[in-house]
Structure 1
Amino acid sequence: MIDRCVRVVLAEDSVVLRDGMVELLGARGCEVAAAVGTAAELLDAVAEHRPDVAVVDIRMPPTHTDEGIRAAIEIRARTPGTGILVFSQHVETAWASRLLADGAAGIGYLLKERVARTSEFVDALHRVAGGGTALDPEVVTQLMRGGRRSRVDSLTPREREVLQLMAQGHSNRSIAGLLVVSERAVEKHVAAVFTKFDLRATGADNRRVKAVLTYLAES
C-alpha cells in the first residue's frame, strides 16, 4: 500500500490523454500541480511547482520530434532532485542514454502501449519519486544493443538476468517470483553484481540504481 502523495507535473500534448491522466493520478492519490502541452510550459511549470516527478512525452509541439526529452534533460540539469518519468510511444535510445548518463537516480521510461494496468504506471511513478528506476523491458533491450562491453562481461547469465529485472524496477522478491528462485538466491546474485561493479555500501548511495546505470552505460 502506497501512502505517500507524489507531486507531479504532467507534459502531454494530447488534450484527451492529458485530461485522462490528470483524473487518473488524482484518483490514485497523486497531486497534479500542473498539466501542460508544450516543452516550454513544462520547464516553466517545473520551475514554479518543484514537483517530485515530471511525467514527460518525448515528441511535443512545435516539431513533434524530441522537444519533450530535451526538456527532461534540461530539468535534470537545473533541478537534479526532480524525478523524470518519460511516458511515450517511442524509444529514443540516444536521448535515453543522455538522460541516464549523469548517474542520477529517479529516472523512468515507459512505453504507452505496453502499460497494461493503471497500477503499473502509478507504481513506476512512486519508484521514480523515491529515487529508483522504472525502465520498460523494450527500452532496456534497445539500450543494450550494439555498444561496448566492460564490467558487464564479468556477469554470469543469471546475474545479468537479475540486473535486467532490476533495471525494470523489480524488487528482490518480485525477481524471485519471476525467475522461480528463492529470494535469498536473488540477494546473492545482487551482491555479486555489486562486487563486480565495485559498488561499496555507504549510507548515502543507492547501489541498485548505480548498478543499473552502470549496466546500461556499459552494455
Structure 2
Amino acid sequence: KLMKGVSHTTPEGEEFALRVMNRLRGACEKWKAKTGLGFGLYGTPAESLCYRFARIDKERFGTIEDVTDKGYYTNSYHVDVREEIDAFSKFSFESQFQKISTGGCISYVEIPNMRHNTEALEEVVKFIYDNIQYAEFNTKSDYCHVCGFDGEITINDDNEWECPVCHNKDHAKMTVIRRTCGYLGENFWNVGKTKEIKARVMHL
C-alpha cells in the first residue's frame, strides 16, 4: 500500500507483491547455495511484531494512511484483516504466496458459528484441500464467568474486552479465545494485536 497506493489484491499491487516475494525467495536460494545452510522464506503472522514495528515506524515516519495509522501491521502476504473478501477468493489469492514461502506459511478466514450450516463448511474444507497448502478457520468461542454468556466477547471503543450482556471487563472472569501466531490462544494481547482482532471482518 505504501509503495503502490493500492491493496496487493488489486492487479497492480499483486504484481508488485509477487515480485517482492520472489526477490526474497531468490535471496534465500542464493544464500543456501553459497553457505550450504537451509535458508527458507517464512510466511509468518509475526503476531507480537505487528504492533511493535507499526509503533516504531509511526514514531520514525509519522502517520501514514492505511500503513502506520492502524496501530498494527498485517504481516507477510496476508490480506489486510479489514478488507472485504470472501473465503474462497482469499484462499485463492494467498495460495500463490504460500508456494513461494518454502520455510512455512499459514492462511486463515474469519467465520461465524457454523454448527447449523455444516454443508457450507464442508465446501470450504474441500476448497482448501484442492487449492492451498495450509489454512485455518477463525471463529469465536468465548465465555463470561459472571453471567454465563457463551458467544463473542467484544472489544469496546476503549479497546477493552467486554461482555456484550453484563458488560464484565475483568479478564480473570472471562475466557476469550482467538487465533494468533497460527494457534488458538487465550492471553489478552498487546494493544496493536487487540486493534487488529477488533478490525477483522467475516469472510463467510
Larger helix share, 1 or 2:
1
User: Structure 2-normalised TM-score?
Assistant: 0.30
Q: Which has the larger radius of gyration?
A: 2
